[in-house]
């Protein structure tokens, strides 16, 4: 049962797209279990920069079946734009994509509500893609699922119920109510184009797993944005961690053979909320420019800071991470010395993990390490890295108690060193916790 999951270990934007793109070369199926078009996975292929918001990064590998799971919320226009873009690159085979009939649809009123709230004083800095309101309609039992698009006779009542629910809020804000007939018309055109992709993803995945096919599960966002494990309320509205896999894919709870956590060699965050290791100027801007730290979905500048190990410890524990992929190590070139936040001080105590609610009151405890000045882009083996870069990685591994098995050293898809086929050792449970470092 070679099932490998890739999970964000920070506040999203860790470079999961690049890791999945490498791993997906060896996969038969690549599936996403949560989130929607709030995600933005950037891939650099030659001169091309490809940004995917809904399709898993594995979509670029033609041998892989790609699955959008039932835990996702899907903006049909965004999905169609991605399918068209991939089609223009060289033909997109219809039988490659399965969109779960149970995934929820992001409707125009979700986007309107998200934007409306972001104008208010309690703005969270969302991506304004309608994600929160779509998940609210899901748990409020008035959502529209992808499969409902194909059953117009039931659709009108669902849409009426959702509009009726949100009417007071929209009216109070002086926002126009969605025009039910216009929404129904859009649903009909989505059904026509997306209908052939909508299917029973739950069975497909169960069969793939039972048949020992190589299944890669692609996380979106990161653990600190998980609705339960993250820095609530500054989180997204989904279970983005590994715990969301079974419900988000409609499969029986399983322990993937390997769960790889992805983190940058430093920390970034977009949107509001506390970030203990955030850097002051001018260092913050320096990191932002060196790393191109602008949102792939919204273009917003990302907040930048030193690597926060307590956050990674949380990710290890709640996701059961086996190993780490550390991306963008090259961005730290020239920053000397480097600092690593190894713990927090809070209320006279030393904390190894983020506290329940006081992330804005903790003081980072830093360790200082020497930096390096050599460019890393050409390094393909650990022993080609400068000694200080090796030491930095080693120290991360020691502090999180997990091996670092993949390291990103540049923007191109192959600018990496380490294990790029996670399936080879996926069945050897004994290597999970100890071996397999670079
Ligand atoms: P929402 O998911 O658009 O509702 O946004 C909720 C919070 O999650 C905001 O702070 C967003 O900036 C953040 N967020 C959502 N998706 C991503 C992502 O893919 N990368 C980084 N932050 C994200």
Q: What is the mean pLDDT of residues 172-193?
A: 94
The confidence score (pLDDT) of residue 429 equals: 42
Q: Give CATH superfamily name and number for 3-90+200-436.
A: Adenylosuccinate Synthetase, subunit A, domain 3 (3.90.170.10)
The confidence score (pLDDT) of residue 431 equals: 38
Residue of minimum CA distance from atom 15 in ligand 1: 38
Q: What is the pLDDT of residues 88-103, one digit of tens each?
A: 887 677 689 999 999 9
Residue of minimum CA distance from atom 2 in ligand 1: 236
The confidence score (pLDDT) of residue 95 equals: 80
Are 289 and 367 spatial neighbours (Cβ–Cβ below 8 Å)?
A: no
Q: Which residues contact 213 (CB under 8 A, 6 or more apart)?
A: 2, 28, 29
Q: Please indicate whether residue 53 is annotated as part of the active site.
A: no
CA of 239 to the centre of ligand 1 (A): 13
C-alpha–C-alpha distance, residues 251 and 205, integer Å: 7
The confidence score (pLDDT) of residue 353 equals: 97
C-alpha–C-alpha distance, residues 315 and 400, integer Å: 9
Catalytic-labelled residue, pool 41, 53, 61, 104 = 41
Q: What is the mean pLDDT of residues 292-296?
A: 90
- Tally the residues of the chain: 438
CA of 85 to the centre of ligand 1 (A): 24
Reported as a pLDDT band with limits 50, 70 and 90, residue 41 is confident
Evaluate if residue 49 carries a pLDDT over 90.
no
Which residues surround ligand 1 with Cβ inside 6 Å?
11-13, 38-40, 124-127, 129, 131-132, 221, 225, 234, 236-237, 270-271
Q: Give CATH superfamily name and number for 104-196.
A: Adenylosuccinate Synthetase, subunit A, domain 2 (1.10.300.10)
Q: Please indicate whether residue 110 is annotated as part of the active site.
A: no
CA of 271 to the centre of ligand 1 (A): 7
Residue of minimum CA distance from atom 12 in ligand 1: 271
Cβ atoms within 10 Å of 355's Cβ, excluding its own: 14
Evaluate if residue 435 carries a pLDDT over 90.
no
Q: To test the ligand 1 pocket, which listed residue (17, 52, 134, 225) has its Cβ within 8 A of the most ligand atoms?
A: 225
The confidence score (pLDDT) of residue 168 equals: 94
Reported as a pLDDT band with limits 50, 70 and 90, residue 424 is confident
CA distances from 353 to 269, 314, 382 (A): 18, 6, 29
202, 58, 245, 130 alpha-carbon torsion, rounded to 10°: -90
Are 223 and 260 spatial neighbours (Cβ–Cβ below 8 Å)?
A: no
Place of tokens 């509500």: 113
Q: What is the pLDDT of residues 224-248, one digit of tens each?
A: 999 999 999 999 999 999 999 999 9
Evaluate if residue 413 carries a pLDDT over 90.
no
Residue 55 Cα to chain centre, angstroms: 12
Q: To test the ligand 1 pocket, which listed residue (221, 223, 235, 311) has its Cβ within 8 A of the most ligand atoms?
A: 221
CA of 125 to the centre of ligand 1 (A): 8
Reported as a pLDDT band with limits 50, 70 and 90, residue 428 is very low
Q: What is the pLDDT of residues 369-383, one digit of tens each?
A: 999 999 999 999 999
CA of 236 to the centre of ligand 1 (A): 6
Reported as a pLDDT band with limits 50, 70 and 90, residue 425 is low
The confidence score (pLDDT) of residue 113 equals: 94
Q: Report the b/e string of 206-232 with b at 16+ CB within 10 A.
A: bebbeeebbbbbbbbbbbbbbbebbbe
Q: What is the pLDDT of residues 311-368, one digit of tens each?
A: 999 999 999 999 999 999 999 999 999 999 999 999 999 999 999 988 999 999 999 9
Structural domain boundaries in the chain: 3-90+200-436, 104-196
**Percentage above 70 pLDDT, the chain:** 96
Q: What is the pLDDT of residues 189-216, one digit of tens each?
A: 999 999 999 999 999 999 999 999 999 9
Q: Judging by DSSP bridges, how do beta strands 258-264 and 3-8 pair with one another?
A: parallel
Helix (H) or strand (E) holding 7: strand 3-8
Determine the straight-line distance between the first and last CA of the chain, rounded to whole angstroms. 24
What is the position in ligand 1's atom list of the atom closest to the CA of 220? Answer: 19
The confidence score (pLDDT) of residue 430 equals: 36
């Amino acid at each position: 049962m070679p099932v490998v999951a890739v999970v964000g270990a920070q506040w999203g934007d860790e470079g999961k797209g690049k890791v999945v793109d490498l791993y997906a070369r060896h996969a038969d199926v690549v599936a996403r279990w949560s989130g929607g078009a709030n995600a933005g996975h950037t891939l650099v292929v030659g001169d091309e920069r490809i940004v995917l918001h809904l399709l898993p990064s594995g979509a670029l590998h033609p041998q892989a079946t790609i699955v959008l799971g039932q835990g996702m919320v899907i903006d049909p226009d965004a999905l169609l734009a991605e399918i068209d873009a991939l089609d223009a690159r060289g033909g997109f085979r219809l039988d490659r994509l399965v969109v779960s009939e149970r995934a929820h649809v992001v409707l125009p009123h979700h986007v309107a509500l998200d934007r409306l709230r972001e104008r208010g004083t309690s703005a969270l800095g969302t991506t304004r893609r309608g994600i929160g309101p779509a998940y609210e309609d899901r748990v409020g039992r008035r959502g529209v699922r992808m499969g409902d698009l194909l059953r117009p006779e039931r659709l009108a009542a669902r849409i009426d119920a959702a509009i009726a629910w949100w009417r007071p809020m929209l009216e109070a804000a002086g926002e126009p109510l969605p025009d039910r007939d216009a929404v129904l018309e859009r649903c009909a055109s989505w059904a026509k184009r997306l209908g052939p992709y909508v299917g029973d993803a739950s069975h497909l995945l169960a069969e793939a797993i039972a048949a020992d096919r190589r299944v890669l599960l692609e996380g979106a966002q990161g653990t600190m944005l998980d609705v339960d494990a993250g820095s609530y309320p500054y989180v997204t509205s989904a279970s983005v961690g590994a715990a969301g896999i079974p419900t988000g894919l409609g499969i029986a709870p399983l322990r993937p053979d390997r769960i790889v956590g992805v983190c940058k060699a430093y920390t970034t965050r977009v949107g509001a909320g506390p970030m203990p290791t955030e850097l002051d100027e001018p260092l913050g801007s320096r990191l932002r420019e060196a790393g191109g730290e602008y949102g792939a979905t919204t273009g917003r500048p990302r907040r930048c800071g030193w690597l926060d190990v307590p956050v990674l410890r949380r990710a290890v524990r709640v996701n059961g991470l086996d190993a780490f992929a550390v991306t963008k190590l090259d961005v730290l070139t020239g920053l000397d010395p480097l600092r690593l936040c190894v713990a927090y001080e809070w209320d006279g105590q030393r904390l190894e993990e983020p506290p329940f609610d006081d992330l804005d009151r903790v003081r980072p405890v830093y360790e200082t390490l020497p930096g390096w000045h050599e460019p890393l882009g050409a390094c393909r083996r650990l022993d080609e890295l400068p000694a200080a870069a090796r030491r930095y990685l080693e120290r991360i591994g020691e502090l999180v108690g997990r091996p670092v098995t993949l390291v990103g050293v540049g923007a191109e898809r192959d600018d990496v060193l380490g294990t790029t086929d996670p399936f080879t050792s996926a069945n050897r449970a004994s290597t999970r916790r100890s071996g397999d470092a670079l």
